[in-house]
Structure 1
């Protein structure tokens, strides 16, 4: 899968809760409690495994989750990252 240009990344991020951080995109989420944060992480794991595209996941504080997406084999962002980001947005809704 081809790496996206900076302009393509910027276009895909418009109106999104994701932000670019270097060669990745990140999104922070906050949940009412720890159990709901972990339940969300479990759902992310299922979707990521099915897509064979795995985000970095950071659980911090007691109710916060940070998701980071990048296609390591391409050294940056690809359409696979944005496809998974859209799916993860659906989970978070």
Structure 2
């Protein structure tokens, strides 16, 4: 996997993945994460996650709706979580391969461009 800067990732579109490809290595994932702000590996390097504390519940829902539009346009869907009315987090991985692919980092970079009303 070629390591790209965040501004390069947002220019790309997620490619359909039906499986049959190897997930990126832990080394590749760490190198790509270094180009993104605040994302971290979870689940033994099989997923990436980012946390936010938003202003209030409606700010979290507004953020998630904007993320949903991006995810649907790219055909790559993250897990969205809200807890305690303003603690939000997003987890991303390529379900079809049970690990990380370039699509996950593309989506993360695009999510980072969504405005968020923080606490």
User: Is the pair's TM-score, using the shorter chain for normalization, greater than 0.5?
Assistant: yes
Q: Equivalent residue for 1:45?
A: 68
What is the CA distance between 1:13 and its match in structure 2? 1.2
CA pair 25-92 structure 1, distance change in 2 beyond 3 A? farther
Q: Equivalent residue for 2:25?
A: 5
List aligned pairs for 1:9-88, cutoff 5 A: 9-14=29-34, 16-22=37-43, 23-88=46-111
- The ranges of structure 1 where at least 4 consecutive aligned residues each deviate by more than 3 angstroms after the TM superposition are none
Q: Give the count of matched residue pairs.
A: 93
Which structure has the bigger radius of gyration? 2
Can you give the 5+ residue segments of structure 1 that lack an aligned partner in the other structure? none
What is the CA distance between 1:92 and its match in structure 2? 4.0
Alignment RMSD (CA, Å):
1.4
Please give the TM-score of this superposition, normalised by the length of structure 1: 0.93
Instruction: Provide the secondary structure at the position in 2 that maps to 1:91.
Output: coil
